[in-house]
Structure 1
C-alpha cells in the first residue's frame, strides 16, 4: 500500500461511516481501491469483504438443504441434488450452481480419486518411476512430426542419408519410398 497522509486516512474513514462503497470512496479521494480497502480492513477487521458478480440464485437455506442431502446420502451426485433443489426453488438452477454450492461447503467429489488411490496404493517408488505424466502433452521421441524438406533438382531421387527412419510399433523402419520432385 502506498503511504497516505493522516488527513487522507481520516477522509476514508469518514466516507466509510457514511456507508459509501470502497469504489466510491476511491473515486472521491483519488486513491486506489486497494489502498482504500486496506485502510478499511486495518480499522475494521471484522468488516465483510464484498465479492463481485451476480447474486446467488440459491438462498442460504437452499444451500444448506443441498449440502444436507449430499451428507445424509439421500442424493449421491450434483446432478441428483440439482433435481432435488429444482423441485423446491421457483427459478431452476444448473448442476454447476449446485457444484459451486458444494465447493463453498468444502465438499469435494472424491470417488475417482479414491478409486485411483486404492488401485495404486501398493505401488513402489520404482513402479512410479516408470510412469510418464504427460498432462496431455505430446512428446516426439524421435525428431519432429512436421514436414521436413530436402532440396533436389527436378528428376533427382532421394538418397538414403536424406531419408529419416520412423518408429512404428516399437521398431525402427526406414521409409525408402523414393519421392521424385517434378
Structure 2
C-alpha cells in the first residue's frame, strides 16, 4: 500500500475536482485485499468495478508482455536485481516503434472484439 499512500494519493489530491475521477485497477487479488478496500474507503477513492478475467484493452499490458518475453530470452540470465534492471532497460530501448504503433492501431479491433464477444473471452 506504500505506492497508493506515497505516490497515488498525493497525485490524486493534487487534481482539481478529484471527486470526479474514478480509480481503476486490474482486479488482481492484491488489489482486492480488505486493507486496500478499507484504504480506498478511508481516502474517499471511488473505485471502478472490474470483473475478473476481463479483457485488458490497455496497450501497455501487451507491451509488458513483449518486454517480459525478451528478458526471459536474454542470455545470460540476470543473476541479481542490478543485472535485471540493466537487461530491462536494454531490452526496453530495443523495442521497435512499429510494435508500439501496431498496439495502438489494434485498439479499435480489440474494442470491437469485446463488444462482439457478449462478455465471453476474446483472443485479446
Greater strand content: 1
- TM interval, shorter chain, is under 0.3
State the structure with bigger RCO (CA 8 A, min sep 6), 1 or 2.
2
TM-score, with normalisation over the residues of structure 2? Answer: 0.22
Larger Rg: 1
TM-score, with normalisation over the residues of structure 1? Answer: 0.16
